[in-house]
């Protein structure tokens, strides 16, 4: 991330917060139109599974059947940091999220200005693993990968 950034409490940072808040609220309400209006064309969503890299129309094809049945997902932000590049056109964020199923999660990503509106270019959802559990989790991931061939 560049060291020459705008203040985190700038009006543009507030606009970025609003986009991210609406993105999460739309997912919770299973509101597909509102959810995707927050994403840039061709945006990439990285899920918690290593194989989950959803881009553009593929992501919409994944989401549509769920949202059309009224099934969304709720990730409630508990904290968020936003940084905006000095030119005011790119923003980076990281946030801590709570989810009923996964517990504490982390979201990170990048937004860019598109015709005056902030749009999410990339969103990455992860489950933070405490360092003291990392060795055990890595071993489980390796076992699963080996079993799958």
Domains of the chain with bracketed CATH:
5-148 (3.10.450.50)
Whether the Cβ atoms of residue 20 and residue 10 lie closer than 8 Å to each other: no
pLDDT at 3: 41
Tell me the sheet residues that pair with 94: 81, 108
Cβ neighbourhood burial of 132 (10 Å; 0-12, 13-18, 19+): exposed
Cβ neighbourhood burial of 12 (10 Å; 0-12, 13-18, 19+): middle
Give this prediction's pTM: 0.89
pLDDT at 69: 97
Low-confidence ranges of the chain (pLDDT < 70): 1-8
């Amino acid at each position: 991330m560049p060291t020459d950034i705008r203040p985190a409490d700038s009006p543009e940072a507030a606009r970025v917060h609003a986009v991210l808040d609406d993105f999460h609220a739309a997912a919770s309400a299973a509101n597909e139109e509102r959810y995707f209006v927050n994403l840039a064309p061709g945006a990439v969503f990285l899920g918690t599974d290593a194989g989950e890299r959803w881009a553009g129309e593929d992501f919409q094809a994944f989401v549509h059947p769920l949202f059309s049945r009224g099934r969304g997902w709720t990730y409630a932000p508990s904290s968020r940091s936003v940084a905006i590049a000095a030119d005011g056109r790119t923003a980076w964020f990281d946030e801590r999220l709570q989810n009923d199923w996964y517990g504490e999660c982390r979201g990170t990503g990048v937004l860019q200005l598109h015709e005056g509106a902030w749009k999410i270019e990339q969103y990455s959802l992860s489950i933070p693993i405490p360092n003291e559990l990392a060795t055990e989790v890595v071993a489980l991931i390796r076992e699963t990968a080996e079993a799958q061939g």
